[in-house]
Structures are given as structure tokens and as C-alpha cells.
């Protein structure tokens, strides 16, 4: 046990405490005020403090309008996506993508872009693929499933 105890005051700068711990090769430093120990600084508490500063704060839940703007901004970053024939509707954090695409790969890319926006709970695809040469249009797989379910319910 050390006979000469190193201590710091409550208002000691953090940098000074770290320097003291490094120079004296100590793991703990008592915090003393009016000749009474009022706390202790440990390597662990320093690391926990630094770790909490290093984490990226999670954004708070955004309103639907803000989420729509964020989703549209993410989709606009994709240069080959349709810019004019696209609409995004957000309701309670659920994104609905509407519009016309000319390449089926655009569907997955835009859905992924929307899913990656913090605050989006789920994404519903209502994009219609129009084959550019023939002009034949295909509903989204999700809308096709919904239509088949509705037809089955009305037929039975």
C-alpha cells in the first residue's frame, strides 16, 4: 500500500487527473474536499466517461414530415432513381413508396434507402415497374399479393 496518497480537489481539470494517474502509475485517485474524501476517480470511470462521449447519439423520433424529407434525400442520392415520378408517404413512421420505375433493381435500392433512415419502422412498396420497350406495367409484389387476397375474399 502506498504511504504517500495522491489526491485531487473536486474542481481539478480532467486532464490534470489523467496526467497524475499516468505519471504516478496509479489506478485510483481520491477526490478530497475540506480534508474529507468526497469521491474517487478510477481508470474505469474515466473510460466509461470517454466511451459515453464517443457514442453517436441516436436521433429522437422525428415527425412524419421530417422522416419523409429524410427518405426523399436518401433516394435522391441514388442518381439512377426516378426523381419526378416518385412520391413517399409516411404515416406514424411507416413509409409507403409510390411511383413508376423503369428497372426492377430500382425497387430494392429505393426500399433499402428508405429502410436505412433512422425512425422508419417499415417500408411498403407500391412502385409500378414499366418495361421501357413494351410499356407493359407490373404492380409491386406487395400490391399484387394484396389484390389476390382481396379477389380471394370477394370470390369466396
Strand partners, 15: none
Buried b (16+ CB within 10 A) or exposed e, 16-36: ebeebbeeeeeeebebbeeee
Query: pLDDT digits over 8-19, tens only?
Result: 999 999 889 889
Each domain of the chain, given as residue ranges in start order, spans: 14-54, 64-155
Q: Which three cell numbers stand for residue 26?
A: 496509479
Question: Beta 122-130 vs 28-33: how paired, if at all?
Answer: unpaired
Q: CATH assignment of 64-155, given 3.30.1340.30, 3.40.228.10, 2.120.10.30, 2.60.120.460? A: 3.30.1340.30
Reduced to 3 states, what is the DSSP secondary structure of residue 73? helix
The Cα-based distances of 113 to 2, 95, 122 in angstroms read 59, 11, 12
Q: 96, 142 in Cβ contact below 8 A?
A: no
Query: pLDDT digits over 20-48, tens only?
Result: 989 989 999 999 999 898 888 888 888 87
Element (H, E) at 95: strand 94-101
Buried b (16+ CB within 10 A) or exposed e, 131-156: eeeeeeeeebebeeeeeeeeeeeeee
Query: pLDDT digits over 42-98, tens only?
Result: 888 888 777 777 765 554 557 999 999 999 999 999 888 887 788 999 999 999 999
Reduced to 3 states, what is the DSSP secondary structure of residue 139? coil
109 pLDDT higher than 70: yes
141 pLDDT higher than 60: yes
Q: Which three cell numbers stand for residue 24?
A: 504516478
Amino acid at each position: 500500500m502506498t504511504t504517500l496518497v495522491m489526491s485531487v480537489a473536486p474542481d481539478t481539470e480532467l486532464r490534470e487527473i489523467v496526467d497524475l494517474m499516468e505519471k504516478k502509475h496509479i489506478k485510483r485517485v481520491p477526490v478530497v474536499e475540506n480534508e474529507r474524501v468526497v469521491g474517487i476517480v478510477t481508470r474505469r470511470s474515466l473510460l466509461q466517461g470517454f466511451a459515453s462521449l464517443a457514442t453517436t447519439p441516436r436521433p429522437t423520433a422525428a415527425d412524419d414530415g421530417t422522416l419523409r424529407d429524410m427518405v426523399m434525400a436518401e433516394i435522391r442520392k441514388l442518381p439512377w432513381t426516378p426523381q419526378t415520378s416518385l412520391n413517399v408517404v409516411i404515416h406514424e413512421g411507416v413509409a409507403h413508396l409510390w411511383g413508376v420505375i423503369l428497372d426492377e433493381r430500382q425497387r430494392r435500392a429505393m426500399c433499402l434507402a428508405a429502410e436505412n433512415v433512422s425512425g422508419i419502422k417499415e417500408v411498403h412498396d407500391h412502385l409500378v415497374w414499366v418495361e421501357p420497350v413494351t410499356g407493359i406495367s407490373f404492380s409491386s409484389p406487395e400490391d399484387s399479393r394484396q389484390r389476390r387476397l382481396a379477389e380471394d375474399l370477394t370470390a369466396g
